[in-house]
Amino acid sequence: DVKVTQSSRYLVKRTGEKVFLECVQDMDHENMFWYRQDPGLGLRLIYFSYDVKMKEKGDIPEGYSVSREKKERFSLILESASTNQTSMYLCASSDTGNRGNTIYFGEGSWLTVV
Amino acid sequence: AQSVTQLDSQVPVFEEAPVELRCNYSSSVSVYLFWYVQYPNQGLQLLLKYLSGSTLVKGINGFEAEFNKSQTSFHLRKPSVHISDTAEYFCAVLQTGANNLFFGTGTRLTVIP
């Protein structure tokens, strides 16, 4: 079974703090994603990466950055957390190609910024 | 541009009754279609997906969906729901040649005993 592991399930941070959300996948997938989930808005793509050190902006990249130094690990960084970044963050991974490959999700990280 | 519309944000249904969760999409290119389920405090799990071939797709937990190209719909159905089906359901599209999913806003299914 594919496993996507998000290291922190629940975090509480203060406004202005730097926040790291870590994600690891064990299936040697090329693609990795960070989504944000908010009630009534569904899931929105923040960033994705299709290879080590490669990244592309999604629909809502403002206020976020990412890092992919190793194939299995994809980090989401909030340089200076703000209260409007309180949300559920979901990491995902998939194999490459355009064959409709399934995207596999982690269990999510609930971030509260106070 | 692409969009996914889930017409119902909440669907209450009695246990053992049938349910249909609606999904419509728009895209200028061909797409693959997915339904994911999210149980409370968990990530998303794939229910089923349509890539090509038969327009009726069967998934896990007794769910099925029908791809209707002319109506650009991909509605999810189950003939008899259980309490354990209470969850949020997301429809998503993947444009051919793209890597990331585009999601609808979700439908919360509540099964009433």
Contact criterion met (CB < 8 Å) for B99 and A45:
no
Please state the domain extents for chain B.
Answer: 3-112
So what's the architecture of A4-113 in CATH?
Sandwich (2.60)
| pLDDT tens per residue across span A33-86 | 999 999 889 999 999 999 999 999 999 999 999 999 999 999 999 999 999 999
The CATH topology of domain B3-112 is Immunoglobulin-like (2.60.40)
How high is the pLDDT of residue A102?
84
Strand (E) or helix (H) holding B57: strand B56-58
> What phi and psi values does residue B85 have, to the nearest 5 degrees?
-80, -5
pLDDT band at A96 (very low <50, low <70, confident <90, very high): confident
What the block records as the tokens of A105 is: 């999700």
Start-to-end CA distance of chain A, whole Å, equals 37
- Asked whether A111 and A85 are in contact (CB, 8 A), the reply is yes
- Contacting A with CB below 8 Å, chain B residues are 6, 9, 32, 34, 36, 41-46, 49, 51, 90, 94, 96-106
Q: Which of B21, B28, B26 is nearest to B7 (CA)?
A: B21
Here the tokens at position A20 are: 């790291």
Distance from CA of B19 to the nearest CA of A (A): 21
Look at residue A98 and tell me whether its pLDDT is greater than 70.
no
Look at residue B7 and tell me whether its pLDDT is greater than 70: yes
What pLDDT shows up at residue A85?
A: 98
Answer whether residue B98 shows pLDDT above 70: yes
Q: How many residues does chain A have?
A: 114
Query: Could you tell me which residues are beta bridge partners of residue B46?
Result: B36
- Residue-wise pLDDT for B39-63, tens only, equals 988 889 999 999 888 899 999 999 9
Which tokens go with A12? 């509480």
What distance in Å separates residue A106's CA from the closest CA in chain B?
5
- Identify the pLDDT of residue B42: 87
Determine which of B44, B50, B57, B96 to mutate to test the interface with A (most A C-beta atoms within 10 Å): B44
CA end-to-end span of chain B: 41
Chain A residue numbers touching B106 (CB-CB < 8 A) = 42
Report the pLDDT averaged over residues B61-67. Answer: 96
Of A3-7, A66-70, B3-7, B42-46, the range with the highest mean pLDDT is A66-70
Encode pLDDT of A12-35 as tens digits.
Answer: 999 999 999 999 999 999 999 999
Residue A103 DSSP label: P
